[in-house]
Structure 1
């Protein structure tokens, strides 16, 4: 039986207490400032009990506890270690500081929306999406464990992408040319392919010659390697894709194949022994030095020999910036959004717009194009 009664607390304050029996037959109660709040809660709680999905607040856990359980489950089901590390990074930096101390039973959609909006405002919509995905997964696992009655994160919407920015930091065409010019000959095929295909470093490091059809001028992305050198499928289902090559790129890869170190794996871009090259080696020995030689740098603080702070030139971009640059080249060439999505291996068109929406033609561009059509028509 469910009841609501008014109580006077030892402090002298009054409250309204909702009493009810949960799905396990245990009597529960919660206190509220007003009778209206107690009524609303009781209606909601009784509905959840009848559907067998109710979790009492006293039986609820904090989001931090649920987050650790979710990450442990990710490891238990065999997700890649690098994937788990990315999940944990998002959780530790964006989710736990904002919601970690709050019990799941007290977290509703408005609270999650506020946290997601804050991440988007401070960082980016992409970071906000990762945070929301993390929270959604935590609640989903908590529901499976009987620690949450529903998933309020599913009611949360990402803020709209800002078409005017912030823009992604990527090399200009002049910087790309300078970097390629100063890249050692042995690594030019790798850097050039990264610039022109938009493939991830993990996909390039795991690319096999059997995945490259030089006669058809096509790269078939079917695998990748993580930073620990383990093969796995592409990042998502959409990551399995085919990328066309220009004739110049085909010619360059044919020439590289004759020089490529042989190895049992048949890698396109192996190390000198024919085995998987480490990501950090490419950065430290190839990509960053090439940028410094090319003058594609930013000034960073460092300690001088006398212990005082000095400014020194440092490489401006990560390898992933080449992927962004390739997307910009696709868009500049006039590729439609769905084509860009396919080439980049994005799981949704929304992801493509979130990252590169500001690069696509704007409404003003469309109006100018219509005006040009009209001018040509009426001038005849």
Structure 2
């Protein structure tokens, strides 16, 4: 079964240890990764996860997991084997972020197999993939001057929709899906609160939020309250009672929010970046000098306003736990991974730098 005697002896030692602990799953009943993956996807459908979420999981399996380890049995996948799988993904050109996502999906496959009694191991839990981290992980956040220009440009638009949407995004930090799913019944004008209770997915379906901690209530300033009151008078009515619907009261698409609103607002505010002009085939258009033709395009997506909101809250002294609650993050680690660099005590850092200099140079 093994290429080297030492590999066989190592397997025997590990298997005897698992048998003694009562956690060994014989290879004869262990499913393959393909089979266990199918059971996991079936479970996701039974739990009625969003269609786009399930589609993403299916792509993880079909494109990144099955081609490499689909034929292997779960009982063969040890911690070293999962690390080897991650190395395979990296050698195949997958990004560090994609590898992390795929390994999380593999962990979910093992979790479902354990639930069914088909596995007793969890080789992805606590796994240190030791992936190269060359890209800057910090989110791109609009400057205060850019935010002010965006607010001014949104106010200049004829429809009060855009001012209300931009202000809610900047000062409440809602995700785009939460903005698209927000209902008027969730806006409590008397209590000055927005209650985040549902979202609209990429298929324009209303559903549950991303996690239990995403259900939250957010305070509204007087500016926000007035903007929402003005917009409510002109807002298209519909059965869904949406705050930011399309023209007939249904769920608006993210693409339309950008194309018809947030994109032109940024152009008007001069919050832009240069991008290549492309032809119908998606290839860059080249001028007579052999250089790509460039055009101005909106600099940010709506999610950048969510990052801006978090940065403003942190600047006001909110601690990480408060930021997690306000942003609706599923765990404190998500908060630290995204905004950890913003929780900085500049004065303390400066004092430390001065003290180091003083100790070294005596001045």
Do the two structures share a fold, i.e. TM-score over 0.5?
yes
- Number of the residue aligned with 1:285: 260
Q: Deviations over 1:337-359 (max 9, x none)?
A: 11111110011111100001111
Q: Does the CA contact (< 8 Å) of 2:163 and 2:227 recur in 1? A: no
Residue in 1 that maps onto 2:51: 81
Equivalent residue runs for 1:96-107 within 5 Å: 99-100=69-70, 103-107=73-77
Aligned equivalent of 1:169: 140
Matched, 1:366 2:336: no
Higher strand share: 1
Q: Secondary structure at the match of 1:229?
A: coil
Match of 1:312 among 295, 299, 305: 295
How far did residue 366 of structure 1 move? 2.9
1:141 paired to 2:123? no
Q: What SS does the aligned partner of 1:266 have?
A: coil
RMSD of aligned alpha carbons: 3.5
Q: Matched residues in 2 for 1:37 and 1:158: separation?
A: 22
Indicate how the Cα distance of structure 1 residues 344 and 55 shifts in structure 2: closer, same or farther if over 3 A, else same: same
Greater CA deviation, 68-77 or 170-179? 68-77
Does the alignment pair 1:299 with 2:274? yes
Q: Which has the higher contact order (CA 8 A, sep 6+)?
A: 2
Alignment CA distance shift 1:122-1:230 (3 Å): closer
2:334 aligned partner: 351
8 Å contact kept, 1:220–1:242: yes
The CA distance in 2 between the partners of 1:59 and 1:114, in whole Å, is 24
Matches within 5 A, 1:234-245: 234-245=209-220
- Identify unmatched segments of 5+ residues in structure 2: 287-292, 355-363
Aligned counterpart in structure 2 of residue 131 of structure 1, from 93, 102, 108: 102
The aligned counterpart of 1:342 is 325
Residues 206 and 224 in structure 1, CA contact (< 8 A), matched pair in contact too: yes
Give how far 1:265 is off: 2.6
Correspondence for 1:11: none
Number of residue equivalences: 338
TM normalised by structure 2 equals 0.79
- Partner of residue 55, structure 1: 26
CA distance in 1 between counterparts of 2:214 and 2:184 reads 18
- Contact 1:45/1:54 (CA < 8 Å) preserved in 2? no
What SS is found at the alignment partner of 1:313? strand
